[in-house]
């Protein structure tokens, strides 16, 4: 049986928790979608599209952190790993072409 608050302050706290839960769920869903699109773009092969999608992912992650949905260290880690993957994918290719 779900918790049913009796005290007025507990009723209000329950309402607030429901609103926050829904908002956090939407923010996390958006972040997951944008990060997945960024990973697909990085793997796709077009550097300009990959950089644009990385910027969108960084923006969504930072916004989630500022709203308190995701912890700032988690966001920093995810941004770092996305950036590293982008740089690993596209930094090696110009060096190979310059040497050839």
Per-residue model confidence as pLDDT tens digits over 27-85 = 999 999 999 999 999 999 899 999 999 999 999 999 999 999 999 999 999 999 999 99
Query: Domain 8-99 adopts which CATH fold?
Result: Methane Monooxygenase Hydroxylase; Chain G, domain 1 (1.20.58)
Decide if pLDDT at 94 tops 60: no
Confidence of residue 19 (pLDDT cuts 50, 70, 90): very high
Q: What is the pLDDT of residue 45?
A: 86
CB-side exposure of 48: number of CA atoms within 13 Å?
0
Q: What is the pLDDT of residue 55?
A: 97
Domain edges within the chain? 8-99
Tell the burial category of 48 from Cβ atoms under 10 Å away from its Cβ (0-12, 13-18, 19+). exposed
Confidence of residue 91 (pLDDT cuts 50, 70, 90): confident
CA dist., res. 23 & res. 17, Å (int) = 10
User: pTM score > 0.85 for this model?
Assistant: no
């Amino acid at each position: 049986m779900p918790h049913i608050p009796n005290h007025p302050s507990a009723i209000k706290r329950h309402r607030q928790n429901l609103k926050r839960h829904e908002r956090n769920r939407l923010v996390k869903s958006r972040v997951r979608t944008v990060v997945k699109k960024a990973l697909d773009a990085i793997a796709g092969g077009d550097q300009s599209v990959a950089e644009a999608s990385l910027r969108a992912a960084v923006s969504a992650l930072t916004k989630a952190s500022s709203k308190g949905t995701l912890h700032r260290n988690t966001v920093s880690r995810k941004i770092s790993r996305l950036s590293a993957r982008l740089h690993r994918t596209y930094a090696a290719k110009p060096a190979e072409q310059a040497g050839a």
